[in-house]
Structure 1
Amino acid sequence: MCLEIQWGQAFCLTGFYLRDFTFNHWRKQMPKMKSHSGAGKRFKKIGSGGFKCKQSHKRHILTKKTTKRKRQLRKTAILHPSDAPLVARMLPYS
């Protein structure tokens, strides 16, 4: 994949290197950041900039919990604003 950049320079992307055809040499390109795969399965970004997530306490020991409590745990929750920077760091492209 080649792209044209200002001042008549053309670069080709191959792996982590950029080929600069104006000077005919290879330049190192920074690698992409990786998203935390576990966080990607648990959190989704919402329009206001926060994150939504599933409620906890809904997996086991459900017999002692009331029907009302289990029904209210079905809804998604909004992550607390103090935890949002941690999740945003784990999901750089969300």
Structure 2
Amino acid sequence: MKPGFVYIITNKYQTVVYVGVTSNLPQRIIEHKNKKYPKSFSARYDVNLLVYYEQFKWIGDAIAREKQIKAGSRAAKNKLIQSINPT
């Protein structure tokens, strides 16, 4: 299996967050910035600033962590972001 990343991106006002998973984080962030998928959530809300990520040896572990983060509250997501990206 491939390695994986779970990540959180936001818009320039930090009012919207998106949690995603990928096997190639740099490429995926470029896709968000270039709005590769124009009808996607991240393109519609201009969400393209990386504010948090975790790296995993296996993509399956990243997918499990993504589900865990998505199930959490906005406050929990903000706490994760603040843990590595304080303002």
- The two structures have a TM-score, normalised by structure 1, of 0.23
Higher helix proportion: 2
Could you state the TM-score of these two structures normalised by the residue count of structure 2?
0.25
Larger gyration radius, structure 1 or structure 2? 1
Q: Which has the higher contact order (CA 8 A, sep 6+)?
A: 2
